[in-house]
Amino acid sequence: MAMMHTFCILFSFHLLFLTGASGSGIVGGKVSKPHSRPYMASLQFRRHHSCGGILIREDFVLTAAHCKNKNEKMTVVLGAHNISKEEKSQQWIQVASYHPHPQYTREVDYDIMLLKLQKKATLNKYVQVIGLPRKDGKIPANIKCTVAGWGITGAGRSSSDVLKETTEKMQFSFECRNKWKEHFNSSHMICTTFNRKNGGVCQGDSGGPLLCNSKPMGITAFTFKDDCSDPKYPHVFTKINFFLPWIKKIMQG
């Protein structure tokens, strides 16, 4: 990938063709209350967590386009808290079809994808869909938002077995642009600030949500490659509300 020297797309270490990121993932955060985020999905290859996602309809999961691996079949795990165990609450569903955005080119823009599931998820207290934001919804700067995932928990460490979460603060677009230059597109992306104590997203958290006022506003996309917990480099997310017409079109078939 041409720009990997600058940033790190947030795969987990299980996909060996990507370089690893040092620093911490959601290491300064906390373990989520089990099943308190029933819309969360663990996207797995060969029973190894790779990315996160969110269930937005019984048969559709929203995630990042770079989470697709053309050589492996993906399984979506719903209703999980500890992905190292076969919890009775878990539902394992194969992906029937992948729908990366047609303008995604394996770089960083248009990094969004819908996964059509082979069968509908069974909705219960462990598995629920999450509503999407309004198309014209404004995202004010400086509000605290939540990120969640099973990503790595520190330098050289593996992905977390249990779902973790922490808060990051919404950043002004011009500050994101100042830092990320041409890699940041304010029409399609939003970004956050954070501190080392609270941590934040890292490898394996890709595709998971940035939740502001309980609504998913962003899809975790990329961080600074050399240290995903370096506060000088805002974390970047695909802006969901920009893509709502496309999402609706794909889900309507």
Residues 137 and 236 reside in one and the same domain: yes
Asked if residue 10 belongs to a domain, the reply is no
Annotated catalytic residue within 49, 206, 227, 235: 206
The whole-model pTM stands at 0.89
Per the annotation, the verdict on 188 as an active-site residue is no
Residues 93 and 52 reside in one and the same domain: yes
Per the annotation, the verdict on 24 as an active-site residue is no
Query: For 217-234, how does the pLDDT look when each residue is reduced to its tens digit (9 = 90+)?
Result: 999 998 887 678 788 888
How many structural domains comprise the chain? 2
Annotated catalytic residue within 111, 173, 227, 235: 111
Asked if residue 12 belongs to a domain, the reply is no
Asked if residue 13 belongs to a domain, the reply is no
CA distances from 198 to 25, 100, 195 (A): 10, 32, 6
If DSSP codes are grouped into helix, strand and coil, which group holds residue 181? helix
Q: Residue 5 has what pLDDT?
A: 42
Residues 232 and 140 reside in one and the same domain: yes
61: containing domain: 40-129+243-252
Helices vs. strands in the chain: H and E counts, helices first: 2, 14
CA distances from 187 to 156, 173, 184, 190, 239 (A): 34, 9, 9, 8, 8
Q: Residue 152 has what pLDDT?
A: 76
Q: How many CB atoms lie within 10 A of CB 96?
A: 11
The Cα diameter of the chain in Å comes to 47
Per the annotation, the verdict on 206 as an active-site residue is yes
Q: What is the mean pLDDT of each run of 10 residues along the chain (253 residues)?
A: 47 29 51 96 94 97 93 95 96 97 89 98 98 81 91 68 93 90 91 84 89 94 81 91 96 92
How far apart are the C-alpha atoms of 106 and 195, rounded to whole Å? 29
Q: Residue 10 has what pLDDT?
A: 54
- Taking alpha carbons only, the member of 219, 235, 173 closest to residue 62 is 219
CATH code at position 112: 2.40.10.10
- Taking alpha carbons only, the member of 29, 24, 94, 33 closest to residue 61 is 94
Q: Residue 232 has what pLDDT?
A: 87
Q: Residue 14 has what pLDDT?
A: 31
Residues 77 and 102 reside in one and the same domain: yes
Asked if residue 2 belongs to a domain, the reply is no
